[in-house]
Structure 1
């Protein structure tokens, strides 16, 4: 069951109840075949990147931009499991009326891949730089990285959890993170610290590429990477594209991991409308 209300931004806001009773909130824009957007770390419904993608695709598609559990307006029923996040995505696709195209960015791309391996309702799949560690330049994360994040959050040390994630997983220099602590948006990042544990669960120990599951995905797929992103992310993109049967791989010139929506949209639109 889902509910929907109008907003002043051209989007309508709705909610759907996931299999475990968790309310998942989404913004819906446009009309046409359904596209569902899956966010990565620190982002959610209303973030400028995927809001820009949703707005640009709306003339051709009905785009669902949703808050993953634990973020924004969505609920957060314990205990967390990746399977429950996949059920959340399934619930959003059901609210969209059935099979849908799915686009995921960063760790949201990894979640989209995990979902596509399990849900036939994913009709097409596009991902932006899922951060698997496949090359020598990738960050070295311990197998208990998620447990370390969880321990910090449970002890109320949310800022330290954010700092650990940013430095160890996102390779942001420690000095830059220290400067970020003085910015107005740091409080919002701390508020999402518990979801970093979820990101670690989605990626799995060591961010290892789940080759067997990805190789079993038999839907049309597109992998996108940025020409100016770290080399290890390019390695990951190529590895995903090689593993996904028949996947296309596109490199976006001038783009880093913090990709601009106007760079994504032409590639996504071409792929989504292709037969």
Structure 2
């Protein structure tokens, strides 16, 4: 299978350096990581190998993570600009696949008119209520923990707050991924801000063909959320795939993405 090239960088509109790798050949496909994830801690490793047979796959560190730099103050629009720079680098057009809160960012990119022929999303965690006060309070609490340099507490607060099962959190705490998440804990606030900015109205404005995926093994909250998102979008296809909680195996996910993007 094609392997990623060495790390490269592209400069976003505000001067932020965005690090990325690419692999394979074919139409451009950009992968957008979830909260706390980046090239050094990503679920995309095996997926890239499978997709690179049909696409030129771009995997990047979202701002403030890994080898990418950061520019303050944070704004969702700046992350959209990062994707715009990557799309330009990829030739001016690219498919997007986003996982979890990365899927929310991909939605913002499409809503802002970036040249995205097709969009695929795996379980975007959207709050479908109009009252975002509880979500805003959660973001503020997380920001306070970061400001106090309490990164371990911030990661725990985020994971439990977004509904990650206790046994999953316990397993993560004993793994090397925990320290990797702590290193980028400040960016968890960014993902919370992306979530706060994502509404049903924004979903309704996204007209590009979109595949909305869910795992059959996820809880009712995630599966219900996925169905609500697909219903709110004017040009979407909803599919449930066999998997685990908030995840689908690469050998199941890759064919579904390939079939959709190549259709």
Q: Deviations over 1:46-83 (max 9, x none)?
A: 54531222221112111100100011110011111100
* Residue 199 (structure 2) aligns with: 210
- Structure 2 residue 187 is the aligned partner of structure 1 residue 195: yes
The CA distance in 2 between the partners of 1:247 and 1:179, in whole Å, is: 35
The CA distance in 1 between the partners of 2:254 and 2:4, in whole Å, is: 19
2:57 pairs, out of 48, 52, 63, with 63
The CA distance in 2 between the partners of 1:262 and 1:72, in whole Å, is: 27
- Structure 2 residue 165 is the aligned partner of structure 1 residue 172: yes
Question: TM-score under structure 1 normalisation?
Answer: 0.88
| Secondary structure in structure 1 of the residue aligned to 2:48 | helix
Contact 1:220 1:247 in 2 (8 A): yes
In structure 1, stretches of 5+ residues that fail to align are 1-7
2:84 pairs, out of 78, 87, 90, with 90
- Over aligned residues, Cα RMSD in angstroms? 2.1
Q: How does 1:1-275 map to 2 (within 5 A)?
A: 9-47=3-41, 49-134=43-128, 141-173=134-166, 177=169, 180-204=172-196, 210-274=199-263
* Residue 3 (structure 1) aligns with: none
Contact 1:153 1:193 in 2 (8 A): yes
Post-superposition shift, 1:12?
A: 3.6
Change (3 A) 1:156 1:36: same
The CA distance in 2 between the partners of 1:226 and 1:243, in whole Å, is: 19
Change (3 A) 1:115 1:49: same
The CA distance in 1 between the partners of 2:189 and 2:16, in whole Å, is: 18
Contact 1:134 1:235 in 2 (8 A): no
| Secondary structure in structure 1 of the residue aligned to 2:194 | helix
Change (3 A) 1:76 1:187: same
In structure 2, stretches of 5+ residues that fail to align are none
The CA distance in 2 between the partners of 1:258 and 1:247, in whole Å, is: 20
Post-superposition shift, 1:262?
A: 1.5
The CA distance in 1 between the partners of 2:40 and 2:250, in whole Å, is: 13
Aligned residues: 259
Post-superposition shift, 1:9?
A: 4.4
Change (3 A) 1:151 1:261: same
Question: TM-score under structure 2 normalisation?
Answer: 0.92
Change (3 A) 1:102 1:222: same
Post-superposition shift, 1:190?
A: 1.1
The CA distance in 2 between the partners of 1:180 and 1:246, in whole Å, is: 37
Q: Deviations over 1:27-48 (max 9, x none)?
A: 1001111100000012112545
Contact 1:38 1:102 in 2 (8 A): yes
Contact 2:120 2:210 in 1 (8 A): yes
